[in-house]
Copies of this chain bind each other. A is one copy, B any other.
Amino acid sequence: MTLSAAVVAVGNELLLGDTVNTNAAWLGGALAAVGVEVVSSVMVADDLPRMVVALQRGLDDADIVLVTGGLGPTSDDITREAVAAVAGVELVRDERIVQQLTERFAAYNYPMPPDVLQQADVPVGATALDNPVGSAPGLRLPVGEQVVYALPGPPHELQAVIGVVLDELRARTGRVLHTRSVHVSGIGEPTVAERVEQAVQVPPGVALAYLAGGGVVRVRFTGTDDDVVRRLADQVADVLGDAVWGRDGAQLDQVVHRELAARGATVAVAESLTGGLLGAALSRMPGSSATFRGSLVVYATDLKETLAGVPGPLLDALGAVSAETAGALAAGARERLGATYGVGVTGVAGPSEQEGKPVGTVHLAVSGPGGADIRSVRVPGDRDRVRLIAVNSALALLWKHLAAERVAP
């Protein structure tokens, strides 16, 4: 069966714009994966009458209601009261939660403020949901044939508490949705879509989506039959060929790190317009000290020569922004930082052109024991976007270089 859900996020800070409601998107994805369709998702202030209206509307809209936030120890945390009101029951103090809170504060050797105990008040008929990473337990309250779940607002607490709720929902729907994705770089979304739609026939009940951002396009199939969605993803991976750098949960920096680690190799960078962002990406993964040596951020043109070893005559003839300069940066990084592979990035982040080269010009190079790859692209967007796409394009080029070596060593 299919279940529908209404999500209610509580907090003045969401309506005032001080906090972006990232929980809503996270919950949407997590619920879809267990066959639950979110039909409405609302933000409401810390105000009892408004919260009761929002919860009642949720019960009108959907089979289950998930409330996030308002479970803390302060006076504006009134989700417990609102849930009790909409169910028409009283709050009662739960001695087991009192005990847990007391032990939690004792373990931290910290005196427990009396207000904390309001977190032990639960609507009559509700079950507490353990919170291993915070003091606010979640709540599960049946309301007639429906169920209201109250969950903590901080994202890491929400994600720690919700496991038992997702298990319960998965058991009810019996409809686990399977998602299979194929990630590509180096070709745009329209081209990806055209090739995918020529190659595969999407059967009824399977959803196809294209998610594009930062120079990466993800092709995603969602359906109840894992064999079917996996086969579709396999077909797409075949069709998109060497533009594909990963599947499913993979991240570009992660696949590069793993590929380097698997062959005991290291990488070093010389980067200009990205200002250090490529080094930051190559050091984001835990354990990256095994694969990442360092980066020369040669923002000033003279440093490209003195630090990274780009020949002065080359800079004089072609400028700091050229494919040849990118190649020399990659070779310089590899040699001077003693790495198996070197990556060079130069270009024009904007807002204005440089050396007569337009904003968005990006030159990328990879240098390795088997030779070099150079790629030049023209990237749309503002300064932040140009820098982000330059980083992802450099990671993709490095990945492609490594993959090609694996095929033909």
Give the docked Cα–Cα distance between A155 and B276 (Å).
27
Q: Which of A30, A53, A269, A299 has the most CB of B within 10 A?
A: A299
Contact of A14 among B20, B25, B44, B288 (CB under 8 A): B25
A230: interface (CB < 8 Å): no
Q: Which of A41, A209, A278, A294 has the most CB of B within 10 A?
A: A294
Measured between C-beta atoms, what is the minimum distance from A341 to chain B in Å? 14
Q: Which residues of B contact A14 (CB under 8 A)?
A: 24-25, 28, 41
Q: Which residues of B contact A15 (CB under 8 A)?
A: 28, 37-41
Q: Which of A22, A24, A44, A280 has the most CB of B within 10 A?
A: A280
Mostly, the A contact residues are mixed
A57: interface (CB < 8 Å): yes
Give the docked Cα–Cα distance between A215 and B211 (Å).
32
A283: interface (CB < 8 Å): yes
A296: interface (CB < 8 Å): yes
A105: interface (CB < 8 Å): no
Measured between C-beta atoms, what is the minimum distance from A72 to chain B in Å? 15
Question: Do residues B293 and A295 form an inter-chain contact, with CB atoms below 8 A?
Answer: no
Give the docked Cα–Cα distance between A29 and B280 (Å).
32
As for how many copies of this chain the complex holds, the number is 2
Measured between C-beta atoms, what is the minimum distance from A115 to chain B in Å? 16
Question: Do residues B279 and A275 form an inter-chain contact, with CB atoms below 8 A?
Answer: yes
Instruction: Indicate whether A275 sits within 8 Å of B280 (C-beta atoms), given known contacts A17-B32, A297-B296, A303-B337.
Output: yes
Interface residues as binary, A2-35 with B (CB distance below 8 Å gives 1, 0 otherwise): 0000000000001111111110111111101000
Which partner residue on chain B sits nearest A337 by CB separation?
B303
Question: Do residues B29 and A16 form an inter-chain contact, with CB atoms below 8 A?
Answer: yes
Residue tally, chain A, CB below 8 Å to B: 67
A403: interface (CB < 8 Å): no
Instruction: Indicate whether A307 sits within 8 Å of B294 (C-beta atoms), given known contacts A24-B21, A43-B41.
Output: yes
Question: Do residues B286 and A294 form an inter-chain contact, with CB atoms below 8 A?
Answer: no
Instruction: Indicate whether A295 sits within 8 Å of B292 (C-beta atoms), given known contacts A18-B211, A279-B275, A280-B280.
Output: no
Question: Do residues A298 and B294 form an inter-chain contact, with CB atoms below 8 A?
Answer: yes
Given A276-B295, A284-B384, 18 more A-B residue pairs with CB atoms under 8 Å apart are A14-B25, A15-B40, A16-B28, A16-B29, A17-B25, A18-B28, A18-B211, A20-B20, A20-B25, A21-B25, A274-B280, A275-B276, A275-B280, A280-B387, A292-B300, A294-B297, A294-B303, A303-B337
Q: Can you report 7 residue pairs joining A to B where beta carbons are below 8 Å apart? A: A14-B28, A17-B30, A20-B21, A57-B57, A276-B278, A276-B295, A289-B300
